[in-house]
Structure 1
Amino acid sequence: MNNEVTIYLGQDRIYTDATGIRQILRFYYECKVYQNYTININLDNIEWIDGNLCAFLGALMYRLSIENKLAFLMDSKQVSAKCNILFANDFLPITQNENHYKIKSCLPFRGFLPKQKDEFYNYLENDLFAHNAMPKLLPEVQEQLIDYLGEVYGNIDKHAETELPFFVCGQYYPSKNALHFTISDLGVGFFKKINAQKPINVKSCGDAILWAIAGNSTKQDAPGGSGLRNLNAYLRDNNGAMQIYTGDAGWCSKTVNSVLYPDGISLLRNNYLGATINLEFNTKNLNFRNV
């Protein structure tokens, strides 16, 4: 029987920003010191976690289960009382009599292997763009956005150097008129390949994010790199936002040109081997025709 240890998930509120990512990374590194243990995830200090961040949390837990042979437990009563979003978005399995947790604000937590292109595209069409909070986009606009997200998928498939699955999840926040969609992979991240090609210009993970956001690509045999640039441009023009976290750095379009983070880059304090992209759709102000 495995040994057991209790680890706190985080403190207060875990939001979709650098502070929230840091909290989940801290939890990951606290778990990482154990081998062949069962981790009891304690929510005593948590008041809230953004549902879409289950993509990031789930990815890190998957890596721990594979590399450190860890299993995870959560108390269902505590989840019900404090973070029932973890039931509502399928992050945690539930029994039939708990189906009242299923609420329409969630996009389900799912994992896809790098070669499961059709399954990922079906999720985009049937869960993300068909979500009740997402305005009905013109068909050509939706098709273009799916193409941009398809390039993000292609980067995971061809350049992340991993056969581990990537994870997605989403959450609608009515009070903010925002729908967040998060993709997290467990590949090599942005820096390794970009630095190999551009060692003079790209010396840090933050540099690598800025290089990719500008529309550059490491692809040798085809034009690329426009997916992130075009997604960022679309969301910016339609009052949304984008965030990227990889290695020890994060970038947020909302903080660009701010006093503290003029280039949008902040440090994560711990290293994340992989990449997480969060798209924030403004459900009130979307310009349906601009793509």
Structure 2
Amino acid sequence: MEQTIIVSATQLKNTKASYQCLGKLCYDFSILNDALVNVDFVHVTFIAGNFFSIIGCIFNTYSVHNNLKIHIKNLRYEIANVMSKNGFSKYFRNIKTEKDPGDSVIPYRVFHNHEIDTFKEHITIHLLQHTGMPQMSSPLKARITDNLLEIFGNVRDHSSHSLVYSCGQYFHRNKMLRFSIVDIGTTIHKNVADFFRESGNVFLGNALKWAMVRGHSTRRILEPGGLGFSLILEFIKLNNGMFSLVSGFEGYEYKHGKESYFKLSSPFSGTIVTMSFYLGDHSSYCLKSETQKKLVF
């Protein structure tokens, strides 16, 4: 059986419309089995580099679990060029992979959920040590690393799948370094609802709002830690960066000093965490315990 799926969005970037488009793509793949699928990008003029983690997650998950063979059609040269630099193109014979001579990409990577040390090395080299990253004290950098690993660890603890996907891009024009971590599996809302149900309660609120609170955790074992979002979000607010979280029907965004929650008409069957760091920030950051000058942690 051969099927064609046309990607409806003209641009895939950090917007509600883009997340809805990829939620619809996720659904379109989920209802197919044993098929050759032509994914047509004829309308797409731009794909943000970090969005290849989402696209890769969808392609790989359903090609394996639903036995799909995926072909890409009508891909613009500019998009193929980004794919060749970040390594996503290695999955497609007709796109040549090239090394990025500069600092514009964080490579596309797929990690098994036990490869936490490999993930730590990846984010240290390509994210925390990226040229232009705001200066941070060693204790603060260690805390942020721990929170990123905690986000990664939640895939292992909560997801029904064993892989986590990441990719990123440095946008020179607005000096934003953007990085996404993605999995397909159990949504945050289901995890929170199940957690409340086990204690005899019913959860009726917004699961993302609950998850953003420092100390909130759905872990069943007695060890400290939450979902890893609160500390990183505090840093991003001081840094004038951006943050978004999408899971199931729910979405959250922090941008330009404002927070917003939104609903998706087409849910994403997993979780997307996107962090944007402003590299035009010349401040130096440290923990509040080190000095009273700057940071609130």
TM class by shorter-chain length?
0.7 to 0.9
When normalised by structure 2's length, the TM-score is 0.85
Of stretches 183-192 and 25-34 in structure 1, the one that deviates more from structure 2 is 25-34
Using the alignment, how far apart are the partners of 2:256 and 2:136 within structure 1? 27
Partner of 1:63: 61
Distance 1:198 1:130 in 2: 39
**Residue 169 of structure 1: aligned partner:** 167
1:140 alignment partner in structure 2: 139
Match of 1:260 in 2: none
Q: Is the 8 A contact 1:234 1:290 kept in 2?
A: no
In structure 2, how many angstroms separate the alpha carbons of the residues matched to 1:81 and 1:254?
27
C-alpha contact (below 8 Å) 1:105/1:133 kept by paired residues = no
Change (3 A) 1:21 1:10: same
Q: 1:280 to 1:97 in 2, by over 3 A?
A: closer
> Match for residue 99 of structure 1?
98
Query: When the two structures are superposed, what TM-score results if normalisation uses the length of structure 1?
Result: 0.87
Partner SS state of residue 280, structure 2: coil
Structure 2: distance between partners of 1:133 and 1:139: 16
CA RMSD of aligned residues (A): 2.5
Name the CA distance, whole Å, in 2 between partners of 1:166 and 1:98: 22
SS at match of 1:284: coil
Give the whole-Å Cα distance in 2 for the aligned partners of 1:21 and 1:31.
Answer: 15
Is residue 28 of structure 1 aligned with residue 29 of structure 2?
A: no
Deviation at 1:135, TM superposition (A): 4.2
Greater Cα shift, 64-73 or 28-37: 28-37
Is the aligned partner of 1:278 residue 2:262? no
% identity of equivalent residues: 21
The Cα of 1:269 is off from its aligned counterpart by 0.7
**What's the CA shift string for 1:189-222, capped at 9, x where partnerless?**
2112211333667325xx1111110121122401
Moved over 4 A (4+): 94-98, 100-103
Counterparts of residues 1-291 of structure 1 (less than 5 Å): 3-75=1-73, 78-93=75-90, 99=98, 103-135=102-134, 137-160=136-159, 162-198=160-196, 202-203=203-204, 207-215=206-214, 216-219=216-219, 220-225=221-226, 227-254=228-255, 264-285=260-281, 287-291=283-287
Shift of 1:253: 1.6
| Runs of at least 5 residues in structure 2 that lack an aligned partner in the other structure | 288-297
What is the distance in 2 between the residues matched to 1:147 and 1:193?
Answer: 22
Stretch deviating more after TM superposition (231-240 or 28-37): 28-37
Preserved CA contact (<8 Å) 1:239 1:286: no
Instruction: In structure 1, give the amino acid aligned to 2:284.
Output: F
- How far apart in 1 are the matches of 2:19 and 2:147? 24
Q: Tell me the distance in 2 between the aligned counterparts of 1:98 and 1:197.
A: 44
The AA in structure 1 aligned to 2:228 is G
**Structure 1: gaps spanning 5 or more residues:** 258-262
